Amino acid sequence: MIQEALPSHVRTVSVFEEFNDQLVLALSSDTPYLSMIDPSPSASPMLVKALASKSRNFERLSISYMIDAQQFFKSCQLSYIWHHLQSLTLTSSILTQTAPQKEISDLLCDASLAALNMPQLESMVFWNSKHGEACAVIYQRKKGSGHASLTWRGTWDLELSRDVVMSWQKVASDSYHLRIKNERVHGLINSHGDAIHHLRLPTGVIDPVSLRQIRQEGMMQRMA
Amino acid sequence: MLLPCFILKSTFFPFLPPNYRLASSYLNMSKRHGDNTFYGQMLRSAKKIRTSSSWILLPVEVRSMILEEITLQKHPGWASCAAVCKEWRAVIERKNFHRLTLQASCLEGLENIVIRQRDLVQYICLNIELPRYTCRSCQQTESMSWSSRHFSITSKAILKLFSVLSSWQPTGCLILELNAYSLSDSQHWFKNYHFGLEHEDFGDLVQQQEDTTRWHDPKHGWVNGQQVEAPCAQAILRLFYPICLSLPKNIPEVHAVTGFVLRRQLRRQISPAALWLLWERLPRLENIVYEPWRVWRRTWKIVYDRGKLLYRPPI
């Protein structure tokens, strides 16, 4: 299992499953290959379960596109305690402009329950992007500052529900004042690289050179 | 370098040529005399400076700023400045050996040349160069013999790298990156893709955009900088073909490495089972950056999932 394969001394893991919709389109339009192609993310439920369990050993974990945050929290057991985890970043396909707000709230409430068992947590981020839109929900708590914040940042506005705010106030604890922020992102989102850039996601989501490559390839693709 | 430039030109050091930064004046010599004579000129200049004591008269901070500037400008031959004296060597070598980008053929050199400077190396990127291919095969998935050649090249290169590094003592942080590509990859259908070393410099965006408009290769779908035809499925699958499914179990342990990076510029696939084995052979591994491409082919997906989940390291 993945638990055995990843050495126990690994502290920081950043996984970014890269994809290109134009290539998938080209593959799918080539009839003999149509049945051979499956454009969905590659993680099986077993892998998600293994990663959720393994995450208890990490200090910083970021997984983009390989698994979905909804699956991740559903795979976490109530008894899990993340003694070391300071930062967690995940993508979720539910974070779209057309998704029912109830489902987004459910994800954020599930996440807050897990976050209660992360005593060192300083940052938890959920994000997603597709052509033309991008959004992120960012929880941050600076140790010793007395301040915590829960930010909605996206190409559209979304008011975080009362349940969500209350559940994250619990995570921040009584000694921290939780500020709720709503920030609108302006900028063209043509690639997931543009999304990471405009959402000002924390470092560790993707290698900085890779980010520049994605944005530049996207730009050249547009020019092409 | 605004500050030292200002200081050097100001009344503090009136003996310096008015239009030259000190570091630049050394470097400009190579422009006048050609790179072959640059090194000799430099040594002579350094000697001259020592006898007139002007370099030594400079405050340590300013000297160090000048040396830093040399390492930033990276003028051809800059690394040979390390031979001037111990002070120069300390600064130049620290920057020169900080990050090593190697081809598989450089690994012997890594073993035999980089000995005293091992502590200075903090990043090693191994670019495994795959064989070039022609238009006879650029629209075909790899043949069995071709892919087994790739397996062999990749496996040998990784094994050699781990063998060399296994003798390195752990010091601070050392990050290891693996990459592999064929120079032909960007010469046929995928002209707009970044693959390796030559695609890491993002300095001149305008120049790069101009380069883009020069792409004209109708045979591969590019007309006057415009992609008018998408690559066929076989060309795409070729680019993303696996190059490493497994590695020899006797691959040596490397204690010096603390970080592992596999970036999205590596289009070809290294199977999870092979990666798990590598990570297991890095007992001080703390940080992993893993940016694999999504596996589209159903059969590969099954193999990969099995690799991710069922692989058990040998006892």
Instruction: Classify the C-alpha dihedral A106-A172-A72-A190 as positive or negative.
Output: positive
For position B210, what pLDDT does the model report?
Answer: 63
Q: Which of B227, B296, B313 minimises the CB distance to A5?
A: B313
For position A137, what pLDDT does the model report?
Answer: 97
Rg (alpha carbons) of chain A, rounded to whole number: 18
* 3-state secondary structure labels for all residues of B101-116: EEEHHHHHHHHHCCCC
For position B256, what pLDDT does the model report?
Answer: 95
Instruction: Decide: A11 and B287 in contact? Cβ < 8 Å.
Output: yes
Question: B261 to chain A: which residues are within 8 Å by CB?
Answer: 207
Question: A47 to chain B: which residues are within 8 Å by CB?
Answer: 305, 308-309
For position A162, what pLDDT does the model report?
Answer: 94
Chosen from B190, B212, B289, B295 to mutate, greatest number of chain A CBs within 10 A = B289
Closest residue in B to A223 (Cα–Cα):
B226
Cα separation, B151 vs B245, whole angstroms: 8
| A158 has a pLDDT exceeding 80 | yes
Average the pLDDT over A145-172 and give the result: 93
For position A88, what pLDDT does the model report?
Answer: 97
Question: B289 to chain A: which residues are within 8 Å by CB?
Answer: 14, 207
Q: Which of B199, B231, B288 minimises the CB distance to A13?
A: B288
Cα separation, A65 vs A123, whole angstroms: 19
Cα separation, B120 vs B113, whole angstroms: 13
Q: Which of A65, A57, A113 is nearest to A90 (CA)?
A: A65
A127 interface with B at CB cutoff 8 Å: no
Whether ipTM tops 0.90, in short, is yes
Question: B204 to chain A: which residues are within 8 Å by CB?
Answer: none
Tell me the β-bridge partners of B177.
B125, B261
Instruction: Decide: B253 and B283 in contact? Cβ < 8 Å.
Output: yes
**How far does the CA of residue A86 sit from the closest CA of chain B (Å)?**
14
For position B60, what pLDDT does the model report?
Answer: 87
Residues 133-192 of A with CB under 8 A from B: none
Q: Of the given ranges (A141-145, A194-198, B24-28, B258-262), which has the lowest mean pLDDT? A: B24-28
Residue range A61-111, pLDDT digits in tens? 999 999 999 999 999 999 999 999 999 999 999 999 999 999 999 999 999
| A160 has a pLDDT exceeding 90 | yes
At B154, is the secondary structure helix, strand, or coil? helix
**How far does the CA of residue A80 sit from the closest CA of chain B (Å)?**
21
Q: Which stretches does DSSP call E strand in B31-165?
A: 99-103, 123-130
Higher pLDDT, A221 or A146: A146
Average the pLDDT over A161-175 and give the result: 91
Instruction: Decide: A19 and A65 in contact? Cβ < 8 Å.
Output: yes
For position B201, what pLDDT does the model report?
Answer: 56
A21 interface with B at CB cutoff 8 Å: no
**How far does the CA of residue B17 sit from the closest CA of chain A (Å)?**
39
| A212 has a pLDDT exceeding 80 | yes
Distances (CA, A) of A25 to A178, B75, B229: 44, 45, 12
For position B129, what pLDDT does the model report?
Answer: 92
The secondary structure of residue B251, as a DSSP letter, is: P
Q: Which of A1, A217, A224 minimises the CB distance to B309?
A: A1
Question: B308 to chain A: which residues are within 8 Å by CB?
Answer: 2, 44, 47, 50
pLDDT band at A124 (very low <50, low <70, confident <90, very high): very high
Q: Do A223 and B313 touch (CB under 8 A)?
A: no
Cα separation, A119 vs B311, whole angstroms: 32
Q: Do B265 and A210 touch (CB under 8 A)?
A: yes
Mean pLDDT score across all residues of chain A: 89
User: Tokens 């670019």 map to which residue?
Assistant: B127
**How far does the CA of residue B100 sit from the closest CA of chain A (Å)?**
16
Question: A42 to chain B: which residues are within 8 Å by CB?
Answer: 294-295, 301, 304-305
Question: A208 to chain B: which residues are within 8 Å by CB?
Answer: none
Question: B285 to chain A: which residues are within 8 Å by CB?
Answer: 7, 9-10
Q: Where are the domains of chain A?
A: 2-223
Provide the 10 A C-beta neighbour count for residue A71.
Answer: 19
Residues 191-220 of A with CB under 8 A from B: 206-207, 209-210, 212-214, 216-217, 220
For chain B, which residues score pLDDT lower than 70? 1-53, 197-213, 302-315
